[in-house]
């Protein structure tokens, strides 16, 4: 067994992936070589478009129709490339299993999770339905799904995001694969859920003794889980080594750049800052003095009843104050209602009860005409740069729309203003005639920011503006955001699930959970001396891009959860 | 500006195909590559050209010597087509499609009938689309009460058989002209379009760019027609072509039953109706209008098909073996150059 464990389960040599576009082959990846040994986690890291997913999917023959792979990939001595579909389908699921990014779309919504696991089992093994079901329950128990006897008959929509991901892992492990490919397994999940899934995967790798390929762009996840790391850029491997080597002694400039771009929780503030200010942390002003850009008192927001679905109270009496020119970070898990607050502030959702004042104007029961005036001074940057720009409008027109609609500028003046805005967000002026689909995610988000700043608002709502972006792109967009904030001096409600991002931007942080404000306070206090358990759990779940530190944090988290 | 340079690397390969093109240009390019649709456009254009120039349109005279109501002496026995291989090669003769029992020229009648049918097709296509889009847009955008009212009304129109409403409307206005018949039929054929447009609006109104426009201060009218409608145009165009294909068949069916266009005016449907009894003795009277109906309906369907493929962003052409070989040769040449 000991000598067996040393020999690689997967040997990839000179793997290349090409795509046929418009009469030419374009390489998506070239000369990729690596080994995976049983019980080992190899992390493939890179930005989107670096070819990390395509190289792994080519092993299973899951490339799009216009793609092809070259080179060699041997699974336990057997060549995978060039196998027919029939041969491959025997390999898929049995010898090689995949955990996909989005558990909601990767599980079939019309079948129970039990059915889907049983199906996988019965395709590959000669096994009775009853035995398969017993095995499925056993698998669900292995992935710590609560109450496996009942969960086995549940449909995907009856499970939470984390539970769905667990069910998918159970399905992937059903046939005891030799190789497990995890394609961004935690990207779609909340930090706290992510921490749990990572813990599960760490436990499982020792139990099932499979080789794991972890594809991700999150250095924190890499630090948490991987033994060896391979960094890819533009289809080529730029660096490979053990996790320790790559994190502590990166050789390639790109690796260093990638590591530097990751927001590191605790990098902007030290516990000392609070200590210096006085040992008494108590006098925390939750209300900034002077003029307020946003003032919420007992704010209640409801999604109205529709048909038989009763009204849902998304925000239950929230008090939040943002001073003029102040940046406040709002963090919480998905479903905590943080986006709802942001949308209410720009008048996209009505106030059900309580009071919400934006730049001094009451938003509760506001008339459409007054709302129009309010919107001259408040603006929003949306989360998804892909859907927040009209695909049929050139971006120059999107940026100029607020100016045109509020009759601020027209004709040549409008052109000049749009160009100035493009300059401000560091996009070339020539881009104004391009369409959104021609732009990268980072560029689109810059356009979104330019549009939001067109009317020079006094309050800006930023609704997770960087969560859909790559780390390195995120770093640049955040930098730009800070610059613009200094220049324009707008007040900002920065909504994010990423504590490390919020830490960089805001002096004050508010933590939300289930429609309620859990804790508000200065950055240092929230990050280093949180008063609420919820905040503590949230903080402990954030992975840090440093294997040694992450190990400490992990143990600390386990202790914290044990005490609760 | 180095930031911009590095930014654009992401998803570069997928963008190779669409570099520097607007959405409209991309769709057009994909459409032009669709062989079936391109062939259909050519055939349809040829038919339209033939139909409009041969016997003329309205006051404009054509180059064909017979009018569709003219009676001339029967040339061949029984009025058989004069077109064919006679002595010395192919010739059209005086009545290429033949004549009916009283000596009317079938070619002229088919031309006239096709004119009428095409008019009906285009007018229905336009008005039914217009009604469907407006009602669907209002319903999908405003939801709630207006949606309920419009959709119940739509359901009501759907439950009554089109052929029955068409027949009643046809009797009331049909005798007048192809135009009035077409407008009457538009009033019952807009339902599918309304439902599809409503579904599109319901989906699109939830996207963030609609919220962005609302925050920017856009009115409901502007959001509906400037922001949402252009994004639904694919579905609308495709459905409009399919609607037109079914419109021509509907008109023919109604005219065949005697509810549509009536004597002395002719349409392809009335021609078939009039001569159904002559099928065994003078088949040309029946075949020629039939050929035109089928060809036009087929062409329009193919064009709709091509449009649907062109508007589908997931549509990827599977490259031909020849294109692949060419690309391989190109790649080899490049490698050789790099090595040299």
pLDDT value of residue A328: 92
What average pLDDT score do residues B1-12 get?
A: 43
pLDDT value of residue B319: 65
Residues above pLDDT 70, as percent of chain B: 88
Whether residues A95 and A226 share a domain: the answer is yes
Q: Which residue has the higher pLDDT, B31 or B67?
A: B31
* Among A169, A211, A210, residue whose Cα is nearest residue A189: A169
- Per-residue pLDDT at A472 exceeds 60: yes
Whether residues A468 and A450 share a domain: the answer is no
* Class of CATH domain B22-70+103-314: mainly alpha
* Among A558, A347, A380, residue whose Cα is nearest residue A457: A380
Whether residues A229 and A147 share a domain: the answer is yes
Distance (Å, whole) CA A282 – CA B137: 56
pLDDT value of residue A272: 47
pLDDT value of residue A271: 56
A505: domain range? 291-377+462-473+481-527
Lowest mean pLDDT among A7-21, A355-369, B266-280: B266-280
What average pLDDT score do residues A364-389 get?
A: 88
Our CA dihedral for A218, A219, A220, A222, rounded to 10 degrees, sits at: 100
Given CB atoms, is A297 within the 8 Å cutoff of chain B? Answer: no
Whether residues A75 and A105 share a domain: the answer is yes
DSSP code, position A438? G
Whether residues A418 and A466 share a domain: the answer is no
**Distances A507 to A126, A285, A459, A479, B44 between C-alpha atoms, Å:** 61, 12, 16, 16, 68
Lowest mean pLDDT among A96-110, A512-526, B159-173: B159-173
Chain position carrying tokens 């100016």: A403
Whether residues A59 and A196 share a domain: the answer is yes
Distance (Å, whole) CA A550 – CA A189: 19
Chain B contacts in chain A segment 421-450 (CB below 8 A): 426-428, 434-435, 437-443, 448
CA closest to A19 among chain B residues: B13
pLDDT value of residue B154: 93
Q: State the alpha helices, DSSP H only, in B143-161.
A: 144-159
- Per-residue pLDDT at B108 exceeds 50: yes
The pTM (predicted TM-score) of the whole model is: 0.80
Whether residues A372 and A391 share a domain: the answer is no
- Per-residue pLDDT at B312 exceeds 80: no
pLDDT value of residue B316: 58
- Work out how many domains chain A is built from and give that number: 3
Report the DSSP beta bridge partners of residue A365: none
Is A142 inside a domain boundary? yes
Whether residues A126 and A223 share a domain: the answer is yes
Give contacts of B316 with chain A, Cβ < 8 Å: 64-66
Q: In chain A, count of helices (H) and strands (E)?
A: 23, 20
Task: Give the tens place of pLDDT for each residue, A191-209.
Answer: 888 888 888 888 888 787 8
Distance (Å, whole) CA A98 – CA A172: 6
Give contacts of B12 with chain A, Cβ < 8 Å: 49
Q: Chain-centre distance of CA B127, in angstroms?
A: 13
List CB contacts of A240: < 8 A, sequence separation 6 or more: A34, A228, A229, A230, A231, A246
Task: Give the tens place of pLDDT for each residue, A247-303.
Answer: 888 889 988 888 888 887 777 666 544 444 444 444 445 556 677 889 998 899 888
Is A541 inside a domain boundary? no
Counting Cα atoms < 13 Å in the Cβ hemisphere of A297 gives 7
* Among A264, A383, A394, A278, residue whose Cα is nearest residue A334: A383
CB-nearest partner of B10 from A21, A64, A470: A470
Give contacts of B318 with chain A, Cβ < 8 Å: 65-66
Whether residues A373 and A495 share a domain: the answer is yes
Whether residues A342 and A450 share a domain: the answer is no
B311: three-class secondary structure by DSSP: helix
- Per-residue pLDDT at B270 exceeds 90: no
Whether the CB-CB separation of B79 and B236 falls below 8 Å is answered with no
Distance (Å, whole) CA A222 – CA A63: 25
Whether residues A67 and A166 share a domain: the answer is yes
Whether residues A50 and A159 share a domain: the answer is yes
CATH number at residue A157: 3.40.50.300
Given CB atoms, is A456 within the 8 Å cutoff of chain B? Answer: no
Give contacts of B29 with chain A, Cβ < 8 Å: none
Length of chain B: 340
Distance (Å, whole) CA B304 – CA B77: 43
């Amino acid at each position: 067994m000991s000598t067996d464990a040393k020999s690689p389960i997967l040997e990839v040599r000179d793997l290349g992936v090409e795509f046929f576009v418009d009469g030419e082959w374009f390489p998506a990846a070239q000369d990729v070589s690596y080994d995976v040994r049983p019980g080992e986690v190899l992390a493939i890291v890179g930005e989107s478009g670096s070819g990390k997913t395509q190289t792994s999917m080519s092993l299973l023959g899951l490339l799009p129709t216009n793609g092809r792979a070259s080179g060699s990939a041997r699974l336990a001595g057997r060549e995978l490339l060039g196998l027919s579909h029939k041969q491959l389908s025997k390999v898929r699921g049995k010898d090689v299993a995949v955990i996909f990014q989005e558990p909601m779309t990767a599980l079939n919504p019309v079948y129970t999770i039990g059915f889907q696991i049983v199906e996988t089992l019965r395709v590959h093994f000669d096994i009775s339905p009853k035995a398969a079901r017993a095995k499925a329950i056993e698998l669900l128990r292995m992935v710590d799904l609560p109450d496996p006897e009942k969960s086995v008959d549940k449909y995907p929509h009856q499970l939470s995001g984390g539970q769905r991901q667990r069910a998918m892992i159970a399905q992937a492990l059903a046939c005891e694969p030799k190789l497990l490919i995890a394609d961004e397994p935690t990207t779609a999940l909340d930090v706290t859920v992510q921490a749990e899934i990572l813990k599960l995967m760490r436990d499982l790798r020792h139990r099932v003794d499979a080789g794991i390929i972890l594809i991700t762009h999150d250095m924190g996840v890499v630090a948490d889980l991987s033994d060896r790391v391979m960094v890819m850029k533009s289809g080529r491997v730029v660096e490979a080594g053990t996790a320790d080597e790559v994190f502590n002694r990166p050789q390639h400039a790109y690796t260093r750049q990638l590591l530097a771009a990751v927001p590191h929780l605790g990098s902007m503030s030290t516990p000392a800052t609070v200590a210096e200010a006085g040992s008494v942390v108590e006098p925390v002003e939750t209300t900034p003095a002077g003029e307020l850009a946003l003032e919420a008192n007992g704010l209640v927001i409801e999604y109205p009843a529709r048909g038989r679905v009763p009204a849902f109270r998304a925000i239950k009496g929230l008090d939040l104050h943002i001073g003029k020119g102040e940046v406040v970070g709002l963090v919480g898990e998905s479903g905590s209602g943080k986006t709802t607050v942001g949308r209410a502030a720009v008048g996209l959702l009505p106030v059900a009860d309580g009071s919400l004042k934006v730049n001094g104007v009451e938003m509760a029961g506001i008339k459409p005409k007054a709302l129009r005036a309010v919107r001259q001074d408040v603006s929003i940057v949306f989360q998804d740069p892909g859907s927040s720009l009209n695909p049929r409008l050139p971006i120059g027109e999107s940026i100029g729309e607020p100016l045109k609609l509020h009759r601020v500028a027209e004709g040549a003046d409008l052109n000049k203003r749009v160009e100035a805005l493009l300059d401000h967000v560091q996009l070339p002026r020539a881009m104004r005639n391009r369409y959104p689909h021609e732009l990268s995610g980072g560029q689109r988000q810059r356009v979104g920011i330019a549009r939001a700043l067109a009317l020079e608002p006094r309050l800006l709502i930023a609704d997770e503006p960087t969560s859909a972006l790559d780390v390195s792109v995120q770093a640049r967009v955040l930098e730009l955001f800070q610059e613009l904030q200094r220049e324009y001096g707008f007040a900002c409600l920065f909504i994010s699930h990423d504590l490390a991002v919020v830490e960089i931007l805001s002096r004050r942080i508010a933590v939300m959970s289930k429609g309620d404000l859990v804790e508000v306070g200065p950055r240092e206090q929230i990050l280093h001396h949180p008063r609420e358990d919820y905040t503590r759990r949230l903080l402990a779940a954030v992975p840090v891009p440093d294997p040694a530190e992450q190990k400490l944090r992990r143990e600390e988290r386990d202790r914290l959860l044990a005490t609760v | 500006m180095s930031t911009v340079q590095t930014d654009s690397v992401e998803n570069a390969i997928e963008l190779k195909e669409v570099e520097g093109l607007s959405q409209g240009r991309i769709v057009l390019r994909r459409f032009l590559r669709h062989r079936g649709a391109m062939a259909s456009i050519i055939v349809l254009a040829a038919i339209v050209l033939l139909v409009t120039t041969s016997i003329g349109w309205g006051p404009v005279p054509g180059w064909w010597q017979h009018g569709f109501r003219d009676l001339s002496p029967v040339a061949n026995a029984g009025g058989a087509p004069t077109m064919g291989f006679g002595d010395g090669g192919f010739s059209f003769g005086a009545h290429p499609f033949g004549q009916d029992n009283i000596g009317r020229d079938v070619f002229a009648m088919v031309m006239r009938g096709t004119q009428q049918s095409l008019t009906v097709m285009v007018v229905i296509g336009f008005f039914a689309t217009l009604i469907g889009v407006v009602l669907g847009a209002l319903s999908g955008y405003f939801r709630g009460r207006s949606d309920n009212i419009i959709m119940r009304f739509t359901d009501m129109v759907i439950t009554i058989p089109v052929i029955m409403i068409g027949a009643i409307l046809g009797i009331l206005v049909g005798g007048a002209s192809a135009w009035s018949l077409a407008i009457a039929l538009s009033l019952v054929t807009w339902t599918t379009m309304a439902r599809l447009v409503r579904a599109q609006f319901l989906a699109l109104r939830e996207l963030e760019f609609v919220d962005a426009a609302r925050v920017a201060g856009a009115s409901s009218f502007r959001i509906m027609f400037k922001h949402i409608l252009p994004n639904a145009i694919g579905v609308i165009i495709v459905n409009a072509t399919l609607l037109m294909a079914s419109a021509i068949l509907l008109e023919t069916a109604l005219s065949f039953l005697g509810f549509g266009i009536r004597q002395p005016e002719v349409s392809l449907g009335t021609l078939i109706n009039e001569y159904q009894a002559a099928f065994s003795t003078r088949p040309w009277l029946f075949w020629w209008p039939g050929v035109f109906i089928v060809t036009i309906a087929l062409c329009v369907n193919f064009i709709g098909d091509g449009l649907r493929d062109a508007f589908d962003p997931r549509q990827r052409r599977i490259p031909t073996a020849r294109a692949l070989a060419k690309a391989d040769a190109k790649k080899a040449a490049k490698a050789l150059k790099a090595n040299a």
